[in-house]
Amino acid sequence: MSSRPLSGIRIVESVQGPLAMIGRYLADLGAAVDCFATDADASAEAIVANAGKRTHTGDPSGPSAAAAIESAHIVIADPASGIDLAALRRDRPALITMAVSDFGEDSPLAGWRATGPVLHALSAVLSRSGIRGREPLLPPGDLAYQCAAPQAVFALLGALYRVLGGGDGAHFDFAALDGAVQGLDPGFGINGSATMGKPVGLLLRDRPRAGFQYPIMRCADGYVRICLLARRQWRGMFQWMGEPEQFASPDFDRTSHRYASAELLPYIAGFFADRCRIDLEREGQQHGVPIASVLTLGEFLDSDHAAARDAVTTLDDGTRLPNGFLTIDGERMGPLSAPGDADFPATTNAPPLAPFGDLKVLDLGVIVVGAEGARLLGDFGADVIKIESGAFPDGSRQSYLEHGMSVSFAAGHRNKRSLGIDLRSDEGRALFLDMVRQADVVCSNFKPGTMEKLGLAEAVLREANPRIVVSESSAFGDTGPWSGRMGYGPLVRASTGLTLAWRYPEDPLSFSDSITVYPDHVAGRICAIGVAALLIRRLRTGLGGVAKVAQSEVMIGHFAADVVRGTPAGGAPIDWPWGVYRAAGDDEWCVITVEGDADWAKLCRAIGYDEGLAFDSAAKRLAARAGIDAAIEAWTSGRSQHQAAAVLQAAGIAAAPMLRLAELPDFPYFRERGFYRVEDHPWLQEDVVGDAYVVRTADLPAPPRRPAPLSGEQSAEVIADWLGIDAAGIERLNAGAVLEPLADATRRQAEAHMASPDPVTATG
């Protein structure tokens, strides 16, 4: 028996397909999850999704399920289950229910079928995947669904925290498309620092050129990837190469100049060509150059690092699969053979309407993962304080605007206040620990060891406040031989097999993951899940805890079915067609996916391809791919992508038009569900487009509309609110440079931008 954070929580689930991962996260965290399905499923995907659950075969709306529902805290069901969630909520107002589907309970696409590629097309991820001048490239594996599930999990845990604190339950309408847009690579969300705050999907109609931003070089035994973003990293590369004269100009200190150089990348490629991956990694790290070998999934799983972190586990039946997505107090949250039990104290409190409306959060997070985890807590009502330093600014402050604001930063840091403070000073550190004593949560995603160097190790934080919940994220985790590596997402993708999988099948040099921000956004959501789970545990124990997430383990968890099968990441299609087809117009495309012989017959009839009926098995279709593709494209190219998808969906085929980022807000699905909202920002002369909800519900308030702050903008306000320090005390802290208020120069730059009749914008 185990006593994990959700021990004592009972969940009934009847969800078929990839969204059954919602229940898997909850089971890993210790909940007793009873899974009801009409038929048994022995696929690798089902093995992964149902690990740690108690599975029951039979009618999900029958008496066995009804008996389990009577004592459940949460019920999760898809349309096929037949479970009447509305009736359950009428009888039990404290119950939490979630209707799970591809396109939601009430949307223009409610009758459509989805697959992973369909979600990629409709989320605009597909439009940014691939290489300029070529057709869009489907991302590998089942990333759309895998990244969607944590959004649902976080919402459920927020609602559960409110219920256990004395509040009412809630009903959620969760759509896979919503979750995929939010969790995989949201074009209107926060971007990586290399974009300077500009949404790449709004700037480029075509896909990026090969090697954009994070180039991959061939070496003696494979490939390596480098990420030269900061000046010091370029200087390390320059010294490593022997300081070649043609690159000695100070202009090369600028990222834009390096991108524009026609000679630099070929020179680096020649420098790497006769060296082995392991030697390049070692030498690069010695020079401070972010570099990683491009590995297969199997190479990562067999690495000393994965072994040291116990990243892979073996079930009782011998099945090998990734060992969960996070650790809690040092314990891996992998599949359980039997959940534990625990009781939560009764309460008569009247909690705030927002799940986390009474919580205080100290956010030391940076770039994307750090932004997203704490921002989700703010969207659920927490008072989130972004800790900033002028000497060590958050990389996401890099902007097309002088004052450090951008549409990207505004999206990632809404519902936060900014406190500038010098944590390297004794007084600044003492002040921060005073705030820890008032706080509920501390979030960070620095390189392992950084918090210790600041004198803010876990033990120090927990000594200051035994109730504190600590969230940490890093590239490869805080233990193991790779724990000290630089934590850029492109390097993690290279090291875990994803980069090798994200290529055009016939072109081994067509690496195409360069502008995705995966897994940063979804890792931030898993960080928030860890926080919510520990807050729930605190309700019964009175103590906090530490949740840690390694981005590398998020990735291998998303390819767990391949681990079970022992196949490369992403695998190969098991049926055909399963791809992207040219439609009428300039670079317009339609996704078409077939799952089985019945689908294929429907497709043949829909496009008038009678001779195709002879390909009456997946094996025959896979062998005839070229001819099938030609026949389909002859049909799709004569109509728009929207027309083609509508005809095929009417015939029962999972198909979709490829949307671009700029099209999403006005696409009928998103417009009618109210998915996006436009937010004004006091320091931007352009709209900020953001999510209007965490998960669609009428039972929780919408996220607040507090705009993202300038650096140090609320320093005095925060110190007064949290610690009761008066104006004279704040002035003394400012004079001693312990506090960093909003700089006068930054304010002047922001005011000048707002007064400009011709301002710089993200798309200008």
Which residue has tokens 């790290």? 285
Distance CA 8, CA 74 (A): 12
DSSP-derived secondary structure letter, 709: P
Distance CA 22, CA 20 (A): 5
- Strand 331-332's sheet: what is its strand order? 331-332, 327-328, 545-550, 469-474, 441-444, 360-363, 383-388, 416-420
- Closest to 373 in 3D by CA, of 486, 531, 487: 531
Beta 54-57 vs 10-14: how paired, if at all?
A: unpaired
Residues designated catalytic:
520
DSSP-derived secondary structure letter, 739: B
Which residues in 581-606 are b (16+ Cβ under 10 Å) and which e?
bbbeeeebbbbbbbeebebbbbbbeb
| Structure tokens given for 12 | 């009934």
Distance CA 470, CA 253 (A): 37
Beta 222-226 vs 291-293: how paired, if at all?
A: antiparallel
What sign does the dihedral 615-619-621-623 (CA atoms) show? Answer: negative
- Closest to 583 in 3D by CA, of 513, 646, 663: 646
Contacts of residue 454, defined as CB under 8 A and 6 or more positions apart, other chains included, come to: 423, 424, 429
Identify the burial level of 744 via C-beta atoms within 10 angstroms of its C-beta, where 0-12 means exposed, 13-18 middle and 19 or more buried.
exposed
Got the DSSP string for 559-579? THHHHHHT--TT---SSS-EE
Measured from the Cβ of residue 672, the count of other Cβ atoms closer than 10 Å reads: 13
Inter-residue contact 328 to 530 (CB < 8 Å): yes
For 28, 217, 284, the CA distances from 275, given in Å and listed in that order, are 42, 11, 12
Q: Which helix (H) or strand (E) holds 584?
A: none
Inter-residue contact 527 to 547 (CB < 8 Å): yes
Which ranges in 624-661 belong to alpha helices (H)?
Answer: 625-636, 641-650
Inter-residue contact 577 to 630 (CB < 8 Å): no
- Closest to 588 in 3D by CA, of 59, 17, 135: 135
Backbone angles phi, psi at 431, to 5 degrees: -65, -45
